[in-house]
């Protein structure tokens, strides 16, 4: 699994001009599931997202996670994170998981984050979505459960 995680002061996702998820302070997580991902990747990704210490403490250091600041997560599926442009300029998405098992995996991530007490809003899997956010910092972190980066 791969994720782009952005610390935000607010975020929103819409489909056909209708808001499907919105948060205030928290994390916008763009999540992609790879065809080689297994159930073992799920707890790794959930732990990284929930424990990511990117919010500042009273000393001004990035030392707090989303739960500690009372934040939320806006989780948006984005298979294009598995796009490969090493052999040209048109991305190949061969490394992305097929839609139905990927949808189930994204739902399991959302469910697991909620089980940790985190408020999770979501996009619509497979839809043409418009994402709006205010990146706070800016802070953007890449997570890959295979540790490719």
Q: In this structure, is residue 139 part of a structural domain?
A: yes
Q: Choose, from 12, 20, 67, 78, the residue flagged as catalytic.
A: 78
**What is the domain count for the chain?**
1
Structure pTM? Answer: 0.96
Q: Residue 149 pLDDT more than 80?
A: no
Segment 32-61, tens digit of pLDDT: 999 999 999 999 999 999 999 999 999 999
Q: In this structure, is residue 91 part of a structural domain?
A: yes
- Place 89 in a pLDDT band, splitting at 50, 70 and 90: very high
Q: In this structure, is residue 148 part of a structural domain?
A: no
Q: Choose, from 12, 20, 67, 79, the residue flagged as catalytic.
A: 79
Residue 102 belongs to domain with CATH number: 3.50.80.10
Q: Residue 148 pLDDT more than 90?
A: no
Mean pLDDT of 109-117: 98
Q: Which long-range contacts (CB under 8 A, 24 or more apart) does 125-129 make?
A: 125/77, 125/99, 126/77, 126/99, 127/15, 128/15, 128/16, 129/13, 129/14, 129/15, 129/20, 129/76
To the nearest whole percent, how much of the chain has pLDDT over 90?
98
Give yes or no: 130 in active site: no
Q: What is the domain extent for residue 16?
A: 2-143
């Amino acid at each position: 699994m791969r994720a782009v995680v952005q610390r935000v002061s607010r975020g929103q996702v819409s489909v056909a001009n209708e808001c499907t998820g919105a948060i205030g302070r928290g994390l916008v997580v763009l999540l992609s599931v790879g065809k080689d991902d297994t159930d073992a990747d799920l707890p790794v990704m959930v732990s990284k997202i929930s424990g990511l210490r990117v919010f500042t403490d009273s000393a001004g250091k990035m030392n707090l996670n989303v739960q500690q600041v009372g934040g939320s997560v806006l989780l948006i599926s984005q298979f294009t994170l598995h796009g490969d442009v090493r052999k040209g300029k048109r991305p190949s998405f061969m490394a992305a998981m097929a839609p139905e098992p990927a949808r189930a995996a994204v739902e399991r991530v959302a469910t697991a984050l909620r089980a940790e007490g985190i408020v999770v809003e979501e996009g619509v899997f497979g839809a043409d979505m418009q994402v709006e956010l205010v990146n706070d910092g800016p802070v953007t972190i890449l997570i890959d459960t295979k540790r490719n980066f």
